[in-house]
Each structure stands twice: as structure tokens, then as C-alpha cells.
Structure 1
Amino acid sequence: MAEPEQDIGEKPAVRIQNPKENDFIEIELKRQELSYQNLLNVSCCELGIKPERVEKIRKLPNTLLRKDKDIRRLRDFQEVELILMKNGSSRLTEYVPSLTERPCYDSKAAKMTY
């Protein structure tokens, strides 16, 4: 039996805008949790950055996401980029921790073999 539509989640692919790093991570959000603030919080937690550092959220290639309605239109694997505030510099110089150093990291999942 199919699940009700409101229980099905979206899986945007998220990354930090960085000319040296092009990789995305997938995050899962339940349909009823699709909001600008929730996308921001989950993305920042997974990427190991503070939400206060995010200046903009962009759906690639060139659309700014500004409100909950914009977030609800996202579909699975759409690419979303967090644009961070620059501290008087044109380059991101702050250290971004590896996946194993982030508080959201699941060490049990990392040891799984397929």
C-alpha cells in the first residue's frame, strides 16, 4: 500500500559555494518539514557550518530560494548551494570539518559495508 503523499520526503543535494569543492551531499526532509528554516538548519548541521554564516540559498543554476513556498517546490536531487557571508575576503578561509568530525556524523553508518 502506498504511503500518503505528506509522508514522502524530498532529497535535495546541498553544498557550500566553493570554487575548490564541487561535491554535494543529499539530505532528507519530510514533506511536512519542507520550510526555508528547516532546510537551512539541516543543511548547516550536515555541512558543519553555523546558519548565521549563510547569506543566501541558491537552487542551481541561478535561482535564489527566499521563502517556504520556494522550498516546497524542490524535487528529489535538485542541487542547492549555500552562499556564505564573506568576512572581508573573496575566498572562504574558514576550516570546514570532515564528515567524521561533524556532530551529525553517524559512526555506525560509516562502518557499514555493502
Structure 2
Amino acid sequence: MSTSSLSALAAEHLEVARTSPSGRSAHTVVGGHTRTLRQTLIALLGGQTLDEHENPGEATVHVLSGRVRLTTRDTFWDGETGDLIVVPDARHTLSAVEDAAVLLTVAKLP
């Protein structure tokens, strides 16, 4: 068993995002593509967006710092530090309203 400081990882990856041409950084904290459960820390600079994509299973976005907006064709949800957004079963984007770090948790459907 291991432990990780999500606050420290968020700060570290926001620094990486600041020097990255894409304005973002990501790190798999738990699991991976071959596992059912995957948790990924994602850091995005303000104004950056993860392009529209499908939800590969049940998923949540826990906002560790900053503000984000999750958008589908029909609606959107705003989240700020401490908020948990349940990702809908629909194509969606995730945008950073300001510099933000989130923990994406996905349980892939069989």
C-alpha cells in the first residue's frame, strides 16, 4: 500500500503545465489503461481545454484547485476547489476557467 499527497502532485503538475506548450500535464495516480479503476491527476492552465471525448465508464472529476467547466452538447457544470462533478454518459469537454488541477476517477465498463 502506498500514499500520495494530491496537493503536492497538483502543485508539481501545474508547474509542469506552465512550461508545457500544451498548457497541461497529467499523471496516473492509481491503475491504468489495463485496469478497471484509473485515477489521473490532470493540471490545466486557465483557458486550456481537453477536447471533446466519450466517457469510457463511470467517472468523476474532483477539483483539487482552481475552477473548471465540464460541458456536454446540452448543458454544463462548473466546479471549484473541493467540488466533485459526476461525468455524464455523453461526449464532453473539460475546460480550465483558471489554472486548475483535478483528479479524474474512471471505472471502465466491461
Q: Bigger radius of gyration, 1 or 2?
A: 1
- Which has a greater percent of helix? 1
After TM superposition, the score normalised by the length of structure 1 is 0.28
- Which has a greater percent of strand? 2
